[in-house]
Structure 1
């Protein structure tokens, strides 16, 4: 059985000055490369044959299969383990007739149609890409993006065809690639193809070993990789118990919540964060993001006022948060209002992994490409989804994270369970930034939801069971406090409601949560 997990595609033109190709290849194999594809686009047949023969001898010493790119004749001449074909190369059916039985045949695919044809042709594996922009190959087809790979993988359900992602993959985005490239049916990648990260370095053994460590961590429940592992069962009682525990922990630990948020509601969001017991920092400059990721407990990204400088900070902040395995709460405010926002959201979600996505029905409909609910600016219009439970569950599965759909009734899903929350008050909808402060509440709760009982950080395992409770806790804290604030004699309308809301958030008790929480788990 071929192990496609760390698939090296060679490119001698990428080697650093003075670096010997064959020595580099051997070091990469020593570091843990499991498959080698030799690619020589600008080499004549004689030189290609010589390079392939010597490469085959090195791969044989490490019991690693050698696959030849494009050239069936070279593959035959060196008795390679396989051949990789592009869409304009020899058809799979003809290659099968020419090559010995058992020869591996892989096919490059960029679209659903190409994948479906690979299934018909009975390819052994497909190379799906390009996942990220890359400088190692002139791209003639669009970049698919991490989430696009996940959508394509579903077409391989029920087949024995393996899938390898390719294009711009390196250690800094490998974890995001592995986590995001999973279909709604939980079909995952069998491997990743790496080019420049291994070919353009003077330390191929160390780099390959580092890539192998990330792959191993992903597969053995480390880091963000385990974000789809959830508790098998929840009940309303167990959820409330968890929410109460998390709320107490917020006040005890005072986590730092980094917020890149809507300029309209910065002050409100900061005050809400403080009232809950967390500590806000509102920073948007890209140069600060690496340092802030070392000390924050969670990151909130809200695209309410989407300017170029803030967007640059969002890209880097999410990347740094993923690298340090901090929860990322994403609020795609008004995503359906313009193509610019849609493209920005798509780029952000392909660049880093959100732990929680929060939006109203219109925003989530736009994110999911659904026409069932429309949006007007930042607001949702219409009667809502006919089946909101199934909708929010499906979006959570697609995005591989917890999804919160806010409204008169709030729906929260980890892709398996859905919590239906019925708390709140109409005055929440009459103040500026009520959706934004909901994001602050969620981020405050999620910051401590991934800390163990012993007080040690779980090193970002980001189990959705934890973020599921954190998201529920943030929404309940806000909506129950809104109910309590609305009953106060000093509240006469929206103007007096918000100060009272801050007061109630700061004094919210365990008893109030237990007595007032209206929750169903379906």
Structure 2
């Protein structure tokens, strides 16, 4: 039995020493960090008696289980086997990998520390579940550091892993990583061949006055740093973006798809869907024009893509405008599963069962940012989908992680179909990267779209909506081309932050 799929984005390593933990309660710190978005927890205690380690491990494991987050124990393989947690992390001077695997049994996570190419390749060949690479920067939490390898050292290890066929092995970096440098560390390792899956942090969360806020800040930095990986994946794969949309935006949507490196097809006849779904792309169901025949086509195409296990984007345009549209929304939601649901405030409120009267497809904002975040989070949980709530600030949520994207320009609102073409952009990102992390794919597509708008609006030749459109297409293309050439300067404009979602 293989180890479970794990999100390594924000990896918490605990430290119970007074210098780091102070007088805080470790269990409380871990729970707060999980509430903030920590995705995996490692309990590290090299000095306490075994009975204390066992008791603390049991307590922490009960907490992580509430959040469905893997719990690992550092070094104490016997304790991990005794309490039945998800796995262990072992260093170069700890128990041998084969012995740890024998004690734990199949299906457990076994991570290994690697500070050099040789150590990394040996651990990969042994069958490590993931690698903890470092130490990146000098740190007070680990005194037995062999060497400080820096981001360049991390990058060289990743390159060696990829060259030897271990490109799929998950990796995190550790050592002095915090919210201020996490994004830079991950960006400096971006390449078409292999990137970091996350960062491991100790004092940045354990010693924080607000562990939940610290975890959210790091989560936002890590997800933001993964954006280039998605953009490069679109350019490399050229995925199909199958748009079932209205005539008003078909040409614009096709041009946007081509600009970002996707392959567009505007096909509203669902008899083609089963064949198109086999081509490895994604479907956009855009409810811009609702007719009885059109609705039947949407349902058939949705089910064809579901059967092929390919991503589907739902854009419930004007969902609250008429009884016909409200009925169509119910039919579609009951007919299959959507990977991502995209809409403005009014449209998503309608999906959530709130009575909203829309004048056309536009939405007047009445909700606060906190209310929008809760709406997106709740809808994501209800429909087991990523939800993209569009507006001046875009909110993206998968029901667990919720982020805001503050990129874009007011000229987007003066062009017919920009909301629809955002759906096209996100569909390409999902087709290329959705199997890895659909939330990251959605954030990347949204951020790229918004940054391109800002760059286009800043051009000297742009005087209004008419001159904005060609400039916008150019900037989407230029972002894609620059990324492929290794020029990531556009990333400095990306504004992505994790959001705290408060209960009503």
TM-score by length of 1: 0.52
Other-structure match for 1:401: 385
User: How far off its partner does 1:512 sit?
Assistant: 4.0
Alpha-carbon distance in structure 1 between the residues aligned to 2:359 and 2:367? 13
Match of 1:514 in 2: 491
8 Å contact from structure 1 (residues 481, 504) kept in 2: yes
When residues 291 and 391 of structure 1 are mapped into structure 2, their CA distance, relative to the original with a 3 A threshold, is same
Q: CA deviation at 1:517?
A: 0.7
- Quick check: 1:439 aligned with 2:437? no
Q: Hey, what does 1:288 align to over in structure 2? A: 272
Larger radius of gyration, structure 1 or 2? Answer: 1
- Corresponding residue for residue 311 of structure 1: 295
Q: Deviations over 1:4-25 (max 9, x none)?
A: xxxxxxxxxxxxxxxxxxxxxx
Which of these residues, 470, 491, 516, is aligned with residue 462 of structure 2? 491
Q: 1:379 aligns with which of 357, 362, 369?
A: 362
Trace 1:118-267 onto structure 2 (pairs within 5 A): 235-267=219-251
Against the structure 1 CA distance between its residues 376 and 482, is the aligned structure 2 distance closer, same or farther, given a 3 Å change threshold? same
Deviating runs (4+, > 4 A) in structure 1?
A: 230-234
Match of 2:337 in 1: 353
1:281 partner SS = strand
CA contact (8 A) 2:345 2:365 kept: no
Aligned counterpart, 1:369: 353
Q: CA deviation at 1:449?
A: 1.0
Distance (whole Å) between structure 2 residues aligned to residue 381 and residue 297 of structure 1: 33
Task: Look up the SS of the partner of 2:408 in the other structure.
Answer: coil
Shift of 1:513: 4.1
Tell me what 2:256 maps to.
Answer: 272
Residue deviations 1:61-114, cap 9 Å, x none?
A: xxxxxxxxxxxxxxxxxxxxxxxxxxxxxxxxxxxxxxxxxxxxxxxxxxxxxx
- Native 8 Å contact 1:262 1:436 kept in 2: no
Q: Deviations over 1:394-448 (max 9, x none)?
A: 1111111000000000000000111111111100000001110110111010101
SS at match of 2:264: strand
The answer to whether the 8 Å contact 1:368/1:395 transfers is yes
1:291 positional shift: 1.2
The structural deviation recorded for 1:286 is 2.2
CA distance, structure 1, for counterparts of residue 259 and residue 250 of structure 2 = 14
CA positional deviation for 1:297: 1.0
Any conservation in 1 of the 2:221–2:496 contact (CA below 8 Å)? Answer: no
Deviations 1:319-362 (A, max 9, x none): 01111100001100001011111111111111110000000001
Question: What is the CA–CA distance in structure 1 between the aligned matches of 2:271 and 2:365, rounded to whole Å?
Answer: 42
C-alpha distance in 1, partners of 2:435/2:376? Answer: 26
Greater shift, 504-513 or 337-346, is seen at 504-513
Q: Is the 8 A contact 1:303 1:333 kept in 2?
A: yes
Distance 1:512 1:334, change over 3 A: farther
Shift of 1:310: 2.5
Larger deviation, residues 373-382 vs 313-322: 373-382
- The CA RMSD measured in Å over matched residues stands at 2.1
Aligned CA distance change for structure 1 residues 336 and 406 (closer, same or farther; 3 Å): same
Pairwise CA distance, 1:377: 1.4
Partners in 1 of 2:365 and 2:394 — Cα distance?
A: 16
2:451 alignment partner in structure 1: 480
Alpha-carbon distance, 1:494 to partner: 0.1
| Paired residue total | 281
Once the two structures are superposed, residues 282-316 of structure 1 have per-residue CA deviations (whole angstroms, 9 ceiling, x without a partner) of 11112212111111411111000122332222111
* C-alpha distance in structure 1 between counterparts of 2:351 and 2:280, whole Å: 27
What's the CA shift string for 1:168-215, capped at 9, x where partnerless? Answer: xxxxxxxxxxxxxxxxx99xxxxxxxxxxxxxxxxxxxxxxxxxxxxx
Cα distance between partner residues in 1 of 2:270 and 2:425: 24
Extract unaligned runs of 5+ from structure 1: 1-184, 187-229, 453-465
| Deviations 1:462-505, CA, capped at 9 Å, x for gaps | xxxx1101111111111000000000011110000011000000
Question: TM-score, length-normalised on structure 2?
Answer: 0.53
What is the CA–CA distance in structure 2 between the aligned matches of 1:300 and 1:365, rounded to whole Å?
Answer: 20
